[in-house]
Amino acid sequence: MVLKSYISENTFRDSVYLMRLSNTIRNFEGVIEAEVIIGTDHNKKFLQSGGLWSDEIEKGAGANDLIIAVKAENEEKAEKAIQGALDELNKYVESENLLGEFIPRTFETAKKNLPGANLVLISIPGRYVEREAHQILDAGLNMMIFSDNVTLETEVALKKKALEKGLLVMGPDCGTAIINGVPLAFANEVKRGKIGIVAAAGTGLQEVSSLISNLGEGISQGIGTGGRDVKAAVGGITLIQGLEALLKDKGTEVVIIVSKPPDAEVTKKVLEAAANSKKPVVVNFLGGDLEQIKAAGCEPAATLKEAAEKAVNLIKNENIGADIKDLVVDEELVQKTRGIFKDEQKYLRALYAGGTLAYETLIMIHKKTGPIYTNLSFDNVQKIEDVYKSTGHTIIDFGEDEFTQGRLHPMIDPALRNNRIVEEAKDPETAVIMLDLVLGYNAHPDPAGSALEAIREAKEIAKKEKRQICFVTTVCGTDEDFQKRSVQVEKLKKEDVLVFPSNADAASFVAELFG
């Protein structure tokens, strides 16, 4: 076996393109593993953990360089794979030069070619966002900033400027929105309807909108804000703007607010804005004070599932609690699952692509499981020292900035998480591996199929040591998504993976299992 690497200095390519190129050269004859990746510090750690590290990379690769790393059966096959990658990179440059279709390179030329536009979606490296965003606001357009790694100071400045101009800034790090029925970024294909959502939580918006659609109702608008919007430093500017817009919107009859608990002063502002509404407002501050929400005249929801179900019942003019199914855990399944573990198998390893779903699981199980180690910010949990190595009960959000700098989000490219599934199976203390599979626009075309490759390998590792691992999953999406939720669920169930109807149901089962 041979490891070869190549460094192309000061070379940048789009992450989606690099993911596809990596997959292409992995299929070369004799190639065991391969990555084409930008040389950020985090990506270097990824190469090290994946056994693709070399002295050449250590000494010569900078954050602006492109790395080709190949592990192959022999030197000839490794060299062939590297040359194949270089040939594709050259074709990429040539195709850009020869492309007949006009592709605007700046905001100014794009605006000239689409003069009626009133919304811009920004997806560029975070360090370049500030200049472009100010231009967009000065031109009088709303914007959605998909980019992460934008400073808090920049976010505050942009949102204050937008507020003065009567414009809306969704983001930074805003992963999902549905505006006038048009899904943006990671949104799902959901029914149109009369329920409006404003969310400081990307996968929270996806989970709630998908559950509503699966219950037969629909979405009027889905406004994302970015997770930091509810911090005191930002003041909930976009959340309150979004709430006010939905309260005025004639096509919205019920409003849902979804967020991690805002800072105290932001909570007060948001609830005051909702308190005098003639429309019912369902509020899901994950882990927040339900009595405070109720006192403000809003409908409190403890989980994303409950928020969706309450809104649907309000649209149907039914009793607010009617038909809302409590999170009832199948005790027979709990006992059966406990029976497959050896004595040393006692820990949960939850590997999430969706940050809001990871957070919901954390708040639902932490009181029952004992100490939890995580890279999420949450009181009464342990900050994990090394995100690449689990300790005790572990919940990891693979969508955090530390994993996405120079790499695709795990909902697009699950390779990093798939590698981790296999690594967790090697730990004799692992009992349960928990996953979320998120469908929708721009997500992986077959997340279940991709995960199952790693799950089968993990099961085989455990089997050799006469162990069994329980896999617990939830699939966020609808049958209207191009990945088709029912197809994804069926694939998982055929491999004896436990699939729950919502993330809250999955978390409730795990809490009971370890409680």
Could you read off the pLDDT of 114-135 as tens digits, one per residue? 888 999 999 888 888 999 999 9
**For position 99, what pLDDT does the model report?**
47
pLDDT score at 91: 76
Rounded Cα–Cα distance for residues 222 and 225 (Å): 10
Q: Which CATH number fits the domain that encloses residue 71?
A: 3.30.1360
pLDDT bucket at 376, cuts 50 / 70 / 90: very high
**Cβ neighbourhood burial of 130 (10 Å; 0-12, 13-18, 19+):** middle
Please state the domain count of the chain.
4
Residue 103: pLDDT band (50, 70, 90) is low
Nearest residue to 451 (alpha-carbon basis) of 416, 418, 500: 418
Q: Which amino acid is at 40?
A: T
Q: Are residues 361 and 509 in the same domain?
A: yes
Same domain, 472 and 339: yes
The pLDDT value recorded for residue 358 is 97
Domain range enclosing 152: 104-173
Average pLDDT over residues 197-215: 97
pLDDT at 76 over 60: yes
The string of DSSP codes covering 327-369 is ----HHHHHHHHTT--TT--EEEEEES-HHHHHHHHHHHHHHH
Same domain, residue pair 312 and 335: no
| In a shared domain, residues 25 and 76 | yes
The residue out of 50, 65, 98 marking a domain boundary is 98
pLDDT (mean) for 63-92:
88
The mean pLDDT value for 471-486 works out to 98
What's the pLDDT at 164?
A: 97
| Interval 42-47 mean pLDDT | 80
Contact 401/149 with Cβ under 8 angstroms? yes
Pairing assessment for the beta strands 182-185 and 176-179 based on DSSP bridges: antiparallel
Q: What is the mean pLDDT of residues 338-366?
A: 96
- In this structure, the answer to whether residues 302 and 372 fall within a common structural domain is no
pLDDT at site 98: 46
Q: Are residues 342 and 482 in the same domain?
A: yes
Judgement on whether residues 56 and 140 belong to the same structural domain of the protein: no
The answer to which of 366-375, 446-455, 487-496 has the lowest mean pLDDT is: 366-375
Query: For the segment 134-147, what is each residue's pLDDT rounded down to a tens digit?
Result: 999 999 999 999 98
Which of 157, 173, 189 represents a domain boundary (last residue)?
A: 173
Q: Count Cβ atoms below 10 Å from residue 33 Cβ, excluding itself.
A: 17
**E strand or H helix at 8:** strand 2-8
Range 463-478 burial, b when 16+ CB lie within 10 A, else e: eeeebebbbbbbbbbb
219 Cβ contact list (under 8 Å, min separation 6): 178, 190, 191, 192, 193, 195, 196, 197, 209, 212, 213
